[in-house]
Amino acid sequence: MVLNDCKIIELPQVHDPRGNLTFIEAGRHLPFEIKRVYYLYDVPGGSTRAGHGHKNLQQLVIAMSGSFDIELDDGYTKQKFHLNRSHYGLYICPKIWRLMDNFSSGSVCMVLASDYYDESDYYRYYKDFLRAVRPEKVHE
């Protein structure tokens, strides 16, 4: 099951009374080299983000502030994760449909990605995603 390859990664923490510190080293804490970083912020209450899949992109999603939910779907199984700590990241492998919602007020979602933005790497429609991962399920 592809979904089994997606997992929560615990990042190193340096505890300090002055404030904690977490670091991420490409190729060490992640199974990919980081080519892009982006973040979602000022997300209005009730918003849903993502709602797409990627053909080849790998990502690590971190709740830098606040919390939100991510539902992952490999075409067979769905699994929901609640992210609320900045020293945990959710690794998302290729060919996973994802939906993000339940953003807390002021939350910031940072994503480390294995490649540059490329619209042709997206599955924008669930049917196209399903056709790629589970063709027997799609009836035209």
**One of 22, 34, 52, 64 touching ligand TYD (CB under 6 A):** 52
Residue whose entry in the numeric block shows the structure tokens 């940072």: 110
> Could you tell me if 60 and 93 are in contact, meaning their C-beta atoms sit under 8 angstroms apart?
no
What residues from 114 to 133 belong to the interface with ligand TYD (CB under 6 A)? 117
Beta carbon nearer to ligand TYD, 13 or 55: 55
| Residue 38 CB partners (closer than 8 Å, separation 6+) | 110, 111, 113, 117
Q: Where does this chain touch ligand TYD (CB under 6 A) — which range of 2-10, 49-57, 59-67, 70-78?
A: 49-57
Residue 34, interface with ligand TYD (CB under 6 A)? Answer: no
Annotation marks residue 52 as catalytic: yes
Tell me the C-alpha distance between 94 and 87, whole Å: 23
> Could you tell me if 53 and 121 are in contact, meaning their C-beta atoms sit under 8 angstroms apart?
no
Residue 51, interface with ligand TYD (CB under 6 A)? Answer: yes
Catalytic residue among 15, 29, 52, 87: 52
Helix (H/G/I), strand (E/B), else coil: 83: strand
Contact footprint for ligand TYD (CB under 6 A)? 36, 38, 49-52, 117
